[in-house]
Amino acid sequence: MTSPAPIVRQDSRIQRFFLRHEWARGYALLSPTLAVMVLAMCLPVFMLAAHSFWTQNYLTIDETFTLANYEQALGWLWGAEGAKPIYIRLLWKSMQISFGVTVTTLILAYPFAYFLAFKVRRNKNLWIILISVPFLTSYLLRVFTWKIILGFNGVINSGLMSLGIISEPLEFLLYNPTAVLIVLAHAWAAFAILPIYVSLEKIDRSLLEAATDLGDGPFRRFWRITWPLSVPGVIASGLLVFIPTVGDYVTPKLVGGTEGIMIGNIIQSQFGKANNWPLGSALSIVMAIAITIVVLIFLYVMSLGRVRAK
Amino acid sequence: MATSDAIIKITSCSKHFGPVRAIDDVSFDIARGEFFSLLGASGCGKTTLLRLLAGFEQPTKGNIFIDGQGMAGVAPNHRPTNMVFQSYAIFPHLDVRRNIGYGLRDAGLSKKELDGKIDQMLELIKLPGFGSRAAHQLSGGQRQRIALARALIKRPKVLLLDEPLGALDKKLREEMQLELRALQRNVGITFVFVTHDQEEALTMSDRIAVISQGKVLQIDTPTSLYESPNCKEVAGFIGTMNFFDGTVKSMEEANAVVDAGPLGDVRTRPFAAKLPASGASITVAIRPEKINLNPSRPSASHNVIEGRMSAAAYLGDRSHYYVAVKGRNAPIAVAAQNVNAARSWLGGQDQPVWLSWREDSVILLDR
């Protein structure tokens, strides 16, 4: 009698290791992303943090530890000698513009997402593709397009003039914070629409029917059911728009003029024309921390609101 | 049927979804205070009918009257009905109290009165002290009760229930069936209950409408529906049924004698309603539990046939047997209570058995 052949093939040691440990499989799956994140994110941030404690000496960098850059950036707050208010004021203005952009974007995005979630029955995917069509062109081009629309001899001015509504071109359309707000709100619309759409789409339709069944008309039902259940999506959208727009410098540079300049422009110039990387780094870090604080305060207030709702 | 005290009147109602006739010319009444079930397989139109009553769908043709008032063009939020949804539709962002009190915002109650009403409801559904629970902390059975309380607190004229017990496990479901029935008697509200579970419908209902392909086949009490179904479809849907094709041979003292092929001559109970004509093609139907198993030939002269045991299934309280009969492909289903030594039948595959049944156990149906 020959010995019976093994029915199952034995797994190798490595295979057995992965079979036994769920976490190992998880990290294996994550590892390419993790590598990119570490190299492409943590490293630059670390470099930025390091630079912010150094000093620029014309063409070389003095690597002795100093807080001078932070004093220059924030010193005005406590009246440090020679510190200028421009950085704090620009940061504050950037926050205001971004807040305006966020609110505008959300107000425009919510009805769109609502329409998409509740009114579009067929070809939903087509609509979602249409939302992302603007992203096929470059960000720069889209900003330039707005210049054509808002400009001195732009679409709006020449249109209004040919209709005889105005005799001279409107000058307040371009090169001011409002222009920045309009362009940014348009640029980030898709990022606001999608999270709100997802949170609306997720709402069980029987909840809406139940609310109607219990006596609610359409508007009351919206405020009592639809809105509270879509708030997480609105918060996500708001953060998704607010955080990146604070530091934006392309849009303010192209359509903001001198009035519409933002903190991002100052930071960019430190790394460019002004050639002061350490100050630029310190300003970046100050901005990042400021945004984090604002977001945390916002989330804290929201969580308070939700606790009260229960 | 013209019930004088009908709370719901459905008059030649149809609902079409494109080419599909979900409800096809349906007319019937539901009496005040009745526990009325809409029974049918999935996709038969029973839920559509319920949604027509609730107002979530408008009929393509015909009309619905609730308490004498025509419901054409009346929105769901203005109807005197409330619904318990299949998914329960508990509002996830509200706690139990707010869920139950949801529909009373406009009732003009003070906070104290509202709290009193909610407490009363929590008592009724046997969940006192659960008021501050969040929706996600509730089990399926608890959700079901809260959905019920939320609808009942509005004191609707009609409560609509869309398979509310479908998601519960068997034991809880049986418990809830009795509880729901007791609750309905207690509050005295008309219940319209949609289910695909015939046992559930039989247990709970005053009357049942059997629905198939958008049409109502029969409306009757559970007993009548089970004991005298009016067509093959109803007979087959409610419980298990053995069907045999046959031809009426003769009528003897109002008993029909039917030549049922392999079964031989079958004698039936006297027929008062409609006497089948001699020579008519007809279907003979016999319930499995109405057939007796005998180890040897019983003394009766008719309604007896010999067969062989082909399969048996032991279900604890009862057993199901399948008996092969010469000249017939499908075995005859027999159900017997396991009162004593009934298990002895399970042993012998292929052992010969004699089947017998009483004349009044035979149902005659149009082929």
| Model pTM score | 0.83
Percent of chain A past pLDDT 90, that is, above it, reads 51
For B240, B264, B299, B354, the CA distances from B293, given in Å and listed in that order, are 17, 17, 13, 6
Percent of chain B past pLDDT 90, that is, above it, reads 54
A chain contacts of residue B77, beta-carbon cutoff 8 Å: 212-217
pLDDT at B343: 56
CATH of residue A299's domain is: 1.10.3720.10
- How high is the mean pLDDT of chain B? 88
Q: What does DSSP say about strands B281-286 and B362-366: parallel, antiparallel, or unpaired?
A: antiparallel
Report the gap between the CA of A214 and the closest CA in chain B (Å).
5
Residues A135 and A246 both lie in one domain? yes
In this predicted structure, the answer to whether residue B249 has a pLDDT above a threshold of 60 is yes
Measured distance CA(B74)–CA(B87) in Å, rounded: 24
Query: Looking at the domain assignment, is residue A230 inside a domain?
Result: yes
Residues A212 and A175 both lie in one domain? yes
Of B163, B86, B149, nearest to A207 by C-alpha is B86
Q: Nearest residue of A to residue B53 by CA position? A: A213
pLDDT at B63: 93
Residues of the domain holding A124: 77-309
pLDDT tens track for A184-223? 999 999 899 999 999 999 999 999 999 999 999 999 999 9
Amino acid identity for residue B110 in this structure: S
Query: Looking at the domain assignment, is residue A32 inside a domain?
Result: yes
- The number of domains in chain A is 2
pLDDT at A280: 94
For A50, A58, A131, B137, the CA distances from A277, given in Å and listed in that order, are 11, 11, 38, 54
Can you tell me the ipTM of this complex? 0.85
Query: Looking at the domain assignment, is residue A69 inside a domain?
Result: no
Q: Is B166 on the interface with A (CB under 8 A)?
A: no
pLDDT tens track for A161-192? 999 888 888 888 888 899 999 999 999 998 99
In this predicted structure, the answer to whether residue B245 has a pLDDT above a threshold of 90 is no
Of A35, A85, A73, nearest to A288 by C-alpha is A73
Confidence of residue B344 (pLDDT cuts 50, 70, 90): low
Q: Nearest residue of B to residue A207 by CA position? A: B89
Q: Is B92 on the interface with A (CB under 8 A)?
A: yes
Residues A33 and A131 both lie in one domain? no
In this predicted structure, the answer to whether residue B2 has a pLDDT above a threshold of 50 is no
Residues A134 and A27 both lie in one domain? no
Chain B interface disruption, residue of A208, A209, A213, most B CBs within 10 A: A213
Q: Nearest residue of B to residue A210 by CA position? A: B89
Query: Looking at the domain assignment, is residue A183 inside a domain?
Result: yes
Residues A154 and A268 both lie in one domain? yes
Residues A93 and A29 both lie in one domain? no
CB contact under 8 A, B83 and A211: no
Residues A43 and A102 both lie in one domain? no
Query: Across chain A, which distance is largest between two alpha carbons, in Å?
Result: 107
Mean pLDDT, to the nearest integer, of A103-131?
A: 93
